[in-house]
Chains A and B, each alone.
Chain A
Amino acid sequence: MTDETKKAILVVGGGMSGLSAALEAAEAGYQVVLVEKNAYVGGRVAQLHQYFPKLCPPYCGLEINFRRVKSNPRITIHTLAEVTSIEGAPGDFTVKVKVSPRYVNDKCTACGKCADAVSATIPNPFNYGLDQIKAAYLPHDLAMPLRYVIDPSIAGTDEGQKAAAACPYGAVDLGDAGQELSLNVGAVIWAAGWTPYDPSKIEYYNFDKSPNIVTNVQFERLAAVNGPTSGAIQRPGDGAAPKKVAFIQCAGSRDENHLPFCSSICCLASLKQSTYVMEKLPEAEITIYFIDIRAMDRNEDFYTKVKASNKVQFVKSKIAMITPQANGNLILEGENTATGERFKAEHDLVVLATGMQPNTALSQVPFDVTYDPYGFLTSGQAVIGVGTVRRPSEVVTCVQDGTSAALKAIQAVGR
């Protein structure tokens, strides 16, 4: 089998699912084009502090995958790129891709002189807006490609000129207009990933009214060494170390008014995050408010372990109301369904275990495909769904699913 006789496989989305699919297909000898919306690949995994259940850093596994990508000549990556149209059928697709300008070309050495020269800042997307970053920035330490980005907001301004003037390598290209690509591929794998459910939609949680209510993805950044607090868990409101941390499960999930399905990972995410608090703030009290703890199959062990530590109080109650106080604390109200008691509890930091909304529910595939009632891609289609656009899943499932998607794509290309 030679690369020339087979059409390439397009992978849309460079998160864990997309990377896995791309690598498996490329290592099996197929040409792969990977299109990623962000300025870097690695997706939401790059933003995690630790994985459950082994509590190891995701950067480690990502680095291995990045090395596999770099050493494989069959993979072409386009970042800041989005698919605008798909035509054709398995075996012969024509796909249009819009690449947005990065304003930095491949001469960039990631020296950081452009960032030093620029004074404008933007909310740091990598830290979910918890801090500000210079408008000329490296998305994160291990960004791949390791290349700075000039934010479009300064590209046409004096700030942009300063960045260009500061670059010793001529890597800042303010005339970058992006490009339109037309690709002919044999298979399309859709690995567009997920978005945390917007908690401001759960109006009785008052997420917008208090900086001390954070989402679980933000909490990962608060615990991460390369996060806004260098890994110190602090209340975003005043920087104080919290003494009473609450985790609220099903913040949007299992709710007909929001996401009617179980997002399946949030229980483990909160259990994992409770270990961050135990490790970094041993004096802090931790409470997990839940409807049911859903620790699937082998992850039950992790739940048992956390429970055995006796450092986490488990309260069987869906929280019905969060009321911010003048001192920044938060009053939680609910009904303890194990005792029947209706309670009020005060906490100084609240973490909402927001669920997984498939990105296909927010932005559909530009092709005739079918979705389930929640916006997940259904199986057996011309465009191959993988990972969290197919169902809510943890990282390990996404990796497995990536391999299976690669196999389906290879079959489609061979047709």
Chain B
Amino acid sequence: MDYNQTFAKEVYEKVDSGDEIKVCMQCGVCGATCPLRGEMKYGPRQIWSLIRAGRRDEVLNNPDIMLCTSCYTCQVRCPRGVPIMEVMHGLAHYALAQGIVPRAETAKFGKAFWEGIYDTGRVDEAVVPIKYCLQDGLVAGLKKSLGMMDIGLALMKAKRMKPKMFIPPNIFIPGVHKIKGVKQLQRMLDKAAAIDAAKEA
């Protein structure tokens, strides 16, 4: 097999916590403990293996790197102490910075979540789904929200979502309800983004 170290070195240098995967001993606990193990094609261990094998396209286009829900199970159980969750998010972030979108819906949801924080300094559980659904226009948004009705109902049943969340003043309307000093927050976030961009370039 033809091993190419170029991509592994790229990950070690440019991906957040990317160099931590060097100590991985390929035991497989991460992939087998992941609550999304049924959804992931590869799981962390095999992704590290693909990185070592230089398979850049396969890694950066892999939806698995965007499936991590940050539950930390793999990270606390990793016998080598690899911050697996951080590397998975680092890879997803790195892929997006390279103009690669491994999993479109996750990227859209992330964007909606992030924009809310950036604009108002808050996370509003009503704003995030609205922003997410309306990203591709009103018609597409309505279609999407109808398509996700079962999830919505399940959330309501579990009392994780309530209709009154969407009615002012309960909802923090973007552009209206901002934290104090949102400009300073934005300057901090801009600076962090610039540092990231310089690292990932």
Is A110 an interface residue, CB under 8 A from the partner? no
A318–B32 CA distance with the chains assembled, in angstroms: 9
Is B27 an interface residue, CB under 8 A from the partner? yes
Is B26 an interface residue, CB under 8 A from the partner? yes
Q: A319, A336, A337 — which one has the most chain B CB atoms within 10 A of its CB?
A: A337
A321 & B32 in contact (Cβ 8 Å cutoff): yes
List the A residue with the shortest CB-CB distance to B40.
A342
Q: For A320, list chain B residues within 8 Å (CB).
A: 28-29, 32-33, 77
A256 & B28 in contact (Cβ 8 Å cutoff): no
Q: For A2, list chain B residues within 8 Å (CB).
A: none
A151–B76 CA distance with the chains assembled, in angstroms: 42
B81 & A336 in contact (Cβ 8 Å cutoff): no
A333 & B32 in contact (Cβ 8 Å cutoff): yes
B25 & A334 in contact (Cβ 8 Å cutoff): no
A337 & B45 in contact (Cβ 8 Å cutoff): yes
Write out, one digit per residue, whether chain A residues 290-313 have a CB within 8 A of any chain B CB (1) or not (0): 010000000000000000000000
Other-chain contact of B27, A257, A318, A321, A333 (Cβ < 8 Å): A318
Is B80 an interface residue, CB under 8 A from the partner? yes
A256–B80 CA distance with the chains assembled, in angstroms: 6
A254 & B31 in contact (Cβ 8 Å cutoff): no
Is B61 an interface residue, CB under 8 A from the partner? no
List the A residue with the shortest CB-CB distance to B28.
A335
Nearest CB of chain A from residue B132's CB, rounded to whole Å:
30
Q: For B80, list chain A residues within 8 Å (CB).
A: 256
Q: A204, A255, A320, A334 — which one has the most chain B CB atoms within 10 A of its CB?
A: A320
A291 & B32 in contact (Cβ 8 Å cutoff): no
Nearest CB of chain B from residue A186's CB, rounded to whole Å:
44
A250–B26 CA distance with the chains assembled, in angstroms: 13
Nearest CB of chain B from residue A293's CB, rounded to whole Å:
13
B33 & A204 in contact (Cβ 8 Å cutoff): yes
Q: For A318, list chain B residues within 8 Å (CB).
A: 27-29, 79
Other-chain contact of A342, B43, B76, B81 (Cβ < 8 Å): B43
Nearest CB of chain A from residue B86's CB, rounded to whole Å:
16
Within 8 A of A (CB), among B73-105: 76-81
Is B37 an interface residue, CB under 8 A from the partner? yes
Nearest CB of chain A from residue B72's CB, rounded to whole Å:
13
Within 8 A of B (CB), among A232-260: 250, 254-258
Within 8 A of A (CB), among B2-42: 25-29, 31-33, 37, 42
A337 & B27 in contact (Cβ 8 Å cutoff): yes
Nearest CB of chain B from residue A25's CB, rounded to whole Å:
40
Interface of A is mostly: loop
A335–B37 CA distance with the chains assembled, in angstroms: 10
Within 8 A of B (CB), among A206-265: 250, 254-258
A291 & B25 in contact (Cβ 8 Å cutoff): yes
A335 & B79 in contact (Cβ 8 Å cutoff): no
Is B145 an interface residue, CB under 8 A from the partner? no
Q: For B37, list chain A residues within 8 Å (CB).
A: 342
Is A50 an interface residue, CB under 8 A from the partner? no
Is A17 an interface residue, CB under 8 A from the partner? no
B25 & A254 in contact (Cβ 8 Å cutoff): yes
List the A residue with the shortest CB-CB distance to B81.
A256
Nearest CB of chain A from residue B74's CB, rounded to whole Å:
9
A335 & B31 in contact (Cβ 8 Å cutoff): yes
Within 8 A of B (CB), among A29-87: none
Is B46 an interface residue, CB under 8 A from the partner? yes
List the B residue with the shortest CB-CB distance to A333.
B32
Q: For B28, list chain A residues within 8 Å (CB).
A: 317-318, 320, 334-337
Given A291-B25, A342-B37, A342-B43; A255-B32 close (CB under 8 Å): no
A257 & B32 in contact (Cβ 8 Å cutoff): no
A291 & B27 in contact (Cβ 8 Å cutoff): yes
Nearest CB of chain A from residue B5's CB, rounded to whole Å:
21
Q: For A342, list chain B residues within 8 Å (CB).
A: 31-32, 37, 43
Is A340 an interface residue, CB under 8 A from the partner? yes
Given A318-B27, A342-B43; A335-B32 close (CB under 8 Å): yes
Other-chain contact of A334, B26, B32, B81 (Cβ < 8 Å): B32
B25 & A317 in contact (Cβ 8 Å cutoff): no
A291–B79 CA distance with the chains assembled, in angstroms: 11
A320–B37 CA distance with the chains assembled, in angstroms: 12
Nearest CB of chain A from residue B159's CB, rounded to whole Å:
29
Nearest CB of chain A from residue B80's CB, rounded to whole Å:
6
Nearest CB of chain B from residue A321's CB, rounded to whole Å:
7
Nearest CB of chain A from residue B47's CB, rounded to whole Å:
11
Q: For B32, list chain A residues within 8 Å (CB).
A: 317, 319-321, 333-335, 342
Within 8 A of B (CB), among A310-330: 317-321
A317–B37 CA distance with the chains assembled, in angstroms: 15
A254–B25 CA distance with the chains assembled, in angstroms: 10
A30–B29 CA distance with the chains assembled, in angstroms: 53
Other-chain contact of A340, B25, B29, B46, B77 (Cβ < 8 Å): B46
Given A318-B28, A342-B31; A257-B46 close (CB under 8 Å): no
A381–B31 CA distance with the chains assembled, in angstroms: 45
List the A residue with the shortest CB-CB distance to B82.
A256
Given A317-B32, A320-B32, A342-B43; A337-B26 close (CB under 8 Å): yes
Sort A-B residue pairs by CB-CB distance and give the 9 closest, nearest first. A335-B28, A320-B32, A255-B79, A318-B27, A256-B81, A335-B32, A335-B31, A337-B28, A320-B33
